[in-house]
Amino acid sequence: MVSATGARIGWVDLPSAVRGAVERGVGSPVVAAVSQPGGFSPGTADRVVTTDGRRAFVKAVGCGLNETAVALHRVEARVAAAIPCEVPAPRLLACHDDGEWIALVFEDVEGRHPSTPWSPGEVSTVFATLADLARVTSPCHLPVPTALQQCGPDLAGWRQLATNRPPMLDSWVAARLPMLQAAADRALAGLEGQTLVHADLRADNLLLRADGTVAIVDWPHACRGPAWLDRLLLCVNLLLHGGVDIDQLVKHLARDTATPEDLLIDVLTGYAGYFLDAARQPSPPGLPTLRAFQRAQADALLPWVRRQLTVREGAGRRR
């Protein structure tokens, strides 16, 4: 199984000026740091402990590692500073940005990632949290882009594949590229909404606390969109790791949010094209495992999409 893990530097690899700024933000010198796996950034992701016993989570990256990661950290700093207290996310304690390096200091969360393969009980817990998140953040007042702005480029993957068709493209896909892009276009038209959306949920962006509550971390892709979008996009991770039947989850999500099931299928169809197209691109600086992870997501999602669209095609012929 390809995991959502990058190639990180650690706390000791940060410039001394950055470490000093973090320590001032925490309020005491750091005496221990444990690097955390998961996520795609070449920067640090460390749980730190200070001389007086304070704990924090530190993520930091520099332009020399990956300029896109720096930009995403800056976006996350703005989102985290404005995020409502009702959102189950760690609070931002401090931010250091010297133009070359950016470091974010969050409150430390005691918890673990969901088990993979996923268990039905943990899926239910996370879905309930996401339903509550949609309720308490509608309407969303944060200065974030719309889901159409955030997801629009992603849902052009099938068009990119049709324009620059790769060799050895799956024959079923090749014969249906116009239909697949049409589904992605319908998905775009259905992304209106006024709910705060995380838009990048995977097991490694969720923490299950001992008290049964869930913390949602890593918010640089936050946007404003439909209340069902986070739960639907999490289904990609459920397919990747297995353990649950997403057919029933999608049906229940459509029913519970009064959303056409065909629209939910169209959105996942669009994302299958995104992952397939993205996986063939060169690896970004400092992220040697990203393309393999995107390919694994495409491989997990495409069979489900194919099955759903085959059923749809058959239903269309019978009408």
Q: Is residue 141 part of a domain?
A: yes
227 & 98 share domain: no
Q: Of 78, 107, 136, which residue constitutes the final position of a domain?
A: 107
Q: Which CATH number goes with the domain that contains 309?
A: 3.90.1200.10
Q: Of 72, 107, 142, which residue constitutes the final position of a domain?
A: 107
Burial 251-266 (b: 16+ CB within 10 A, else e): eebbeebebeebbbbb
Q: Is the dihedral of CA 230, 232, 236, 241 positive or negative?
A: positive
Mean pLDDT (whole number) for 172-201: 96
Cα–Cα distance measured from residue 49 to residue 72, given in angstroms and rounded to the nearest whole number: 25
140 & 250 share domain: yes
Q: Kindly state the tokens that stand for 138.
A: 């509608």
21 & 99 share domain: yes
Q: Is residue 306 part of a domain?
A: yes
Nearest to 150 by CA among 188, 184, 107: 188
Outline where 190-289 has alpha helix (H). Answer: 229-241, 246-256, 261-279
230 & 313 share domain: yes
Q: Is residue 90 part of a domain?
A: yes
Report whether 22 contacts 60 (CB < 8 A): yes
Task: Tell whether the model's pLDDT for residue 244 goes beyond 70.
Answer: yes
Nearest to 206 by CA among 286, 128, 318, 141: 128
128 & 50 share domain: no
Report the mean per-residue pLDDT for the chain.
94
169 & 289 share domain: yes
Q: Domain range holding 183?
A: 120-318
What pLDDT score does 2 carry?
A: 56
Per-residue pLDDT reduced to its tens digit, 12-23: 999 999 999 999
Total domains, the chain: 2
161 & 256 share domain: yes
Q: Is residue 233 part of a domain?
A: yes
What pLDDT score does 312 carry?
A: 86
Per-residue pLDDT reduced to its tens digit, 38-90: 677 889 999 999 999 999 999 999 999 999 999 999 999 999 999 999 999 99
275 & 160 share domain: yes
Q: Which CATH number goes with the domain that contains 58?
A: 3.30.200.20
The percent of residues above 90 in pLDDT, for the chain, comes to 90
Q: Of 79, 107, 135, which residue constitutes the final position of a domain?
A: 107
Q: CB count, 10 Å around CB of 51? A: 11
